[in-house]
Amino acid sequence: MNWYTPVETPAAEGFLSPRSHVMLLGSCFADNMGERFAQSLPEGHVSANPFGVLYNPESIAAALELLLSETARADGALFRGRDGLWHSWRHAGLFSAPTEDACRESVNTALAEARRVLRKADLLCITFGTSRLFRLRETGMAVANCHKELASDFDEEDLSSEQIVRRWQPLLAELRQLRPTLRIAFTVSPYRYAKWGFHESRLQKARLLLATDALCRQMPEAATYFPAYEIVEDELRDYRYYAPDLIHLAPQTEEYIWQRVQQWAFSPQLSEYAADKARLLRLTAHRPLHADAASLASLNERKAKMKKEFEEKWSDLYI
């Protein structure tokens, strides 16, 4: 007897190796998966949300346009907020700073690093969270974050699936021109937006699902839909898989989805590398129960030995 309905994921391809580079853009789900990719690949091979968490397709598209440009800067949307801090309409609060110069340096440094990764990327993960966005009433710009400014400064809008498709078609074509071998994986965040009501949240997800399906059908050789949303909604289907707020996912649910991603994208070599790196990271993070000199010396010796063995085994990655 089956107690759940398995959701079919893309056929295992194993296209990621220890030399691969990965970029993720989108909602907090992209953040969660990005942390796991960073733990599984060499340092500097992963860029996760270099603009901070982005929720709607328009803000993610604007971020991607900046990344695709060779010269455009990320500081064109800086402003001083009511809280006295400097923010960017293109970025989440992670980049806010006490001074304009600090904010500018933060966003442009992140942009430069993300461009480096994108130009080497083998996989680009795009996670749409909601079809709803807010535009600055004064300029019409879709903002990534309202930064607690006055509600009267914004107009609220819901994107249709057709609008999303039209916005993203030229971006996908440009990405393919930049990186002909790039894989693009679309996901829809399982996070539900209770503040708009669960019915409205499902309508938003429906728009995103229709849009991602259309984009993947138009470019089947490059774009893939990964069903993280369906795994949570249809395969797991129980509140025990959620955090205590019953909105966010529980850590074990994120890990379950991550395992499905690995089955699809990881080559045997990358799986081996990731397992070796995980063992090294666990030992590195270990602290002895008794912090006497002998225990510390023994632990440090084990750490040095394992690190040396790891680097020797994977030496071709560090040349």
Beta strand 22-26 with 46-48: parallel, antiparallel or unpaired? parallel
Q: Are 192 and 198 in contact (CB under 8 A)?
A: yes
Query: Side chain identity at 311, as an amino acid letter?
Result: E
In this predicted structure, what is the pLDDT of residue 185? 97
Residues above pLDDT 70, as percent of the chain: 97
The burial class, CB within 10 Å (0-12 / 13-18 / 19+), for 299 is middle
**What 3-state DSSP class applies to 116?**
helix
Angstrom distances, CA of residue 169 to CA of 36, 166, 213, 271: 29, 6, 12, 33
Angstrom distances, CA of residue 181 to CA of 67, 119, 172, 185, 267: 18, 11, 12, 13, 16
Query: Side chain identity at 186, as an amino acid letter?
Result: F
- pLDDT beneath 50: ranges in the chain: 319
Q: Looking only at Cα atoms, what is the longest distance across the chain?
A: 66
In this predicted structure, what is the pLDDT of residue 196? 85
Helix axes 161-178, 57-68, angle to 10 degrees: 20
Give the separation between CA 120 and CA 45, rounded to whole angstroms: 9
Listed residue (25, 98, 81) closest to 55, CA to CA: 25
Please give the structure tokens belonging to residue 38. Answer: 């960073």
In this predicted structure, what is the pLDDT of residue 9? 92
Task: Note the Cα 59 to chain centre separation in Å.
Answer: 14
In this predicted structure, what is the pLDDT of residue 143? 97
- Which residues, in sequence order, are bridge partners of residue 183? 123
Give the separation between CA 38 and CA 46, rounded to whole angstroms: 6
Give the separation between CA 37 and CA 167, rounded to whole angstroms: 28
In this predicted structure, what is the pLDDT of residue 319? 47
Listed residue (58, 215, 31) closest to 125, CA to CA: 31
In this predicted structure, what is the pLDDT of residue 318? 59
